[in-house]
Amino acid sequence: MILSGVRSAATNLKSTYALLVRNYGYRLYGAMTTHAAKVNRYHLPLPQLGVHKGHPTSGGKGQTAFRKWQLINETLPEGVTSALDIGCYNGFFALNLAARDVFTVALDPNRDLLNLGQLAAMAAKIDKVAFCPMAIDPRSVRVLPQVDVTLVLSVMQYWIQAYGWDVATDMLSVVWGKTRRCLYFEIPNPCENKKLASELARMGKTESECREFIRKTLVSLGSCKARYLDYLVTDFRGDNERRHIFIAERVDERVV
């Protein structure tokens, strides 16, 4: 009897110790990751972790993200309940959507950035966001869920580099087919981004030609009207490169 009690007490002590170590480890990891975000100044801010600016050498310095969110917030259709953020980075937009009571799935292949987003969600008690370490390619794009709203912000250029224009456009078409209400879209253009000028050359030689190319590309997805929102300095480059922001709105809204 006494031996059994000692064993039980030892087991309980061991479990308590393990729980304390685990909780302390989580807190330490969270503190270190948050500190890294503040010191490194990632390109997009994370106000939930006290990071209100982006990288100091970038054109937008993280402030473009707030303007972009303002555009999204002002044009988001009434009654949306679900969203998908493809290439979510650290979750800035996904967290804002979730805070608006829109359940959001945030995808990015960079696990470190996703960990920041998860910590920010816990810190702000935002529970309607799910972070998934997933890269989108011609196969994985087909298993994405149906949602009301999709964000494809500065992502398609990577598809173009990896698979070419035709496949990248097909991938965007698949994404649009899974979008019930509207899609927010952004891509660099060859007039502003010299690094990608050769890959993006078909967009045009002037800013107005590039803007019209984007509009026609979105309209060609079908059942879509494309609306130009703004031309903003990017948070991801060290110059003043600007990128067009569009919203593609479904004409035959499939509200369920």
Structural domain spans, the chain: 1-40, 47-250
Residue length, the chain?
256
pLDDT tens-place string over residues 56-107: 889 999 999 999 999 999 999 999 999 999 999 999 999 999 999 999 999 9
pLDDT in tens, 162-219: 999 999 999 999 999 999 999 999 999 999 999 999 999 999 999 999 999 999 999 9
The pLDDT, as a whole number, for residue 126 is 97
As a whole number of angstroms, the distance between CA 128 and CA 121 comes to: 9
Quickly name the fold that domain 47-250 has. Answer: Rossmann fold (3.40.50)
Question: CB–CB of 187/243 below 8 Å?
Answer: yes
The tally of CA atoms less than 13 A away on the side-chain side of residue 192 is 22
Residues 211-254: tens digit of each pLDDT = 999 999 999 999 999 999 999 999 998 889 999 999 999 997 55
CA 196/CA 168 separation, integer angstroms: 15
